[in-house]
Amino acid sequence: MVDTNPFLQASVSDGSDPIGPQVTRRKPIKEQLSIFFGLLAVGLCVAFLIGNNISDNAHEHENECGSLASLNSMKPELLRPVSRGPAAGVSEKSNRFFAKVDGTFPAYPWNNSMLSWQRTAFHFQPEKNWMNDPNGPLFYKGWYHFFYQYNPNAAVWGDIVWGHAVSKDLIHWLHLPLAMVADQWYDKNGVWTGSATILHDGKIIMLYTGSTAEAVQVQNLAYPADHSDPLLIHWVKYPGNPVLVPPPGIDNKDFRDPTTAWLTSEGKWRVTIGSKINKTGIALIYDTKDFINYEMLDGLLHAVPGTGMWECVDFFPVSETEENGLDTSINGPGVKHVVKVSLDDERHDYYAIGTYLEKNGTWIPDQPEIDVGIGIRYDYGIFYAAKTFYDQNKKRRVLWGWIGESDSEAADTQKGWASLQSIPRTILFDQKTGTNLLQWPVEEIESLRLKRNEFNQVKVQAGSVVPLNVASATQLDIIAEFEIDKEALERATGSNVTFSCRTSGGAAERGALGPFGLLVLADERLCERTPVYFYIAKGSHGNLNTFFCNDQSRSSAASDVDKQIYGNFVPVLKDETLSLRILVDHSIIESFAQGGRTVITSRVYPTRAIYGAAKVFLFNNATEASVTASLKIWEMNSAFIRSYPRHQKF
């Protein structure tokens, strides 16, 4: 079935029968009864007409699916978001994107069924309450360990401690007791972000930021109480903490998030910590032999003016020639180094690829015009405070990222939890572009695949929507390829107009060569839908620029959720087919274009397209070009994520 007007809804009959009901005639009765029943009949007729009018109006309103007007006639309560984080010296943790000019926004009347649906099935999240940054991931004695920033008391940021979970495959998880809590003067205001380092002898150390009782950010050392325990249940804080305090010239609240350490050729361990000087983001660098005594190097690992505070710095090598990940200490020919920072001011993660000079501890970007903080992002949606680790078990580098909420704090409190982690992603150097990293879901996610639906060579005409027959569309793994009509590519007129996913009209804005892609988490009438799509812009000289976008503007009828349009340019090389992969897991959509060169993660909160009402469609809203799509869509099982057996002694 093809709808030739994909974003205009067809009218729907109100179901009334054009043939009137049969009339049964009665015998004559007394005059007064005739008058009485005559008046009664008139009244019923009026009521019937009024009722029909209300019914017709209701159908008309129901069909206004392009409008996001609330279906609730009651005046909604106005909410005002509260700032959380900056006063304590970290980035803003409250979502305020959708607030009006006066700072308020209308609350939506969520019910328990809607909120229950939002909880994911195969993404990691705690059983309840708030979570943010990934901390200290590692593989140890047959187990993957994942630590994370956690509030054990509420579904909002605050009272931060370290949660802890373990897995055999990065998909199925067991929640363990809290690893570290805020019980010392040097971390009284929070056990903040840190990283793990595995030493020569296989032992583990953790460096983490603590916020003191006076809100000074200091670096602390911790280690397992029992290295023979594969679950690493108990942790000991070094009695001489803190091991590092803010150096002269650095503000007390601008010194945080130590990286995994790496070895120098002199046998010293080297670590970098994020900071800023005025509006210049910087990465301080230290050497140590024992993780207790440190030497601060004279220079900086790197600095970029105008980028503000650098949080959650990450530094790691990538191979220019091999498909494997590299241990953090590897350096030499055929190796590039990545610097990644989380920008406190805008809450996005940026990276750049360059050359590491060990002798003076500095790093130089290959292309300064796409330096850290001004060039390429890990993810063009909601993705922050990312952290990689080297998985020596499978010789790969694995990336974690915090996926925050984009609904209201009131809704999070009502449902009792907030935030997810991304599906762990492998990360490799893109040998074809030389400027990008390739991110891809770890192979273990494929173990959750159930029924496969294949759609081969589906032609989607310009201006049409094609429904795809998928039984359950709230947990999906989608792989798709698109071929655009070559004659239309040649025929299309070039333009000097610069395209941007974010500032465009989204999937409803039609161009000669796009948008086209998929509508996920869509209801049957397309009242709610989240398009994930390509848009090809042809320049005045005939050059083609391809963009990968995610449009949340019609993702929900709710009034208290963020509905941005995400996306960016994606490099498409000669003779490459346009390809994407989408993981749908209830309220999260992770999308990967061209093998993971450009990635977008979004949180969506539909009110209709949930449970069995969620559908998936192909669409092509171009004005000239048809596209041919081939897809494989797997319905996905749920991961096994639960508490470690309570009878187990720790």
- Quickly tell me which residue has 């499978």 as its tokens: 394
**CA-to-CA separations, 574 to 428, 543, 544, 571, 578, in angstroms, rounded:** 21, 12, 11, 10, 11
Give the closest residue to 514 by CA, choosing from 492, 495, 542. 492
| Spatial CA neighbour of 427 closest among 444, 445, 410, 440 | 440
Beta bridge partners of 351: 340, 376
Q: How many CA atoms lie within 13 A of 13 on its CB side?
A: 4
What helix, strand, coil percent values describe the chain, rounded to 5?
10, 40, 50
d(CA 637, CA 448): 5
Give the residue among 260, 259, 270 at the shortest CA–CA distance from 359: 270
Whole-number Å distance between alpha carbons of 80 and 536: 39
Which amino acid is located at 343 in the chain?
A: L
Q: Which two tokens stand for residue 39?
A: 């008046």
* 468 touches 456 (CB < 8 A): no
Contact 339, 362 (CB under 8 A): no
Of 263, 256, 318, 248, the C-alpha closest to 283 is 256
Rounded Cα–Cα distance for residues 583 and 123 (Å)? 10
Q: Which residues pair with 153 in a beta bridge?
A: none
- Residues with catalytic function: 133
Other C-beta atoms lying within 10 Å of the C-beta of residue 574: 4
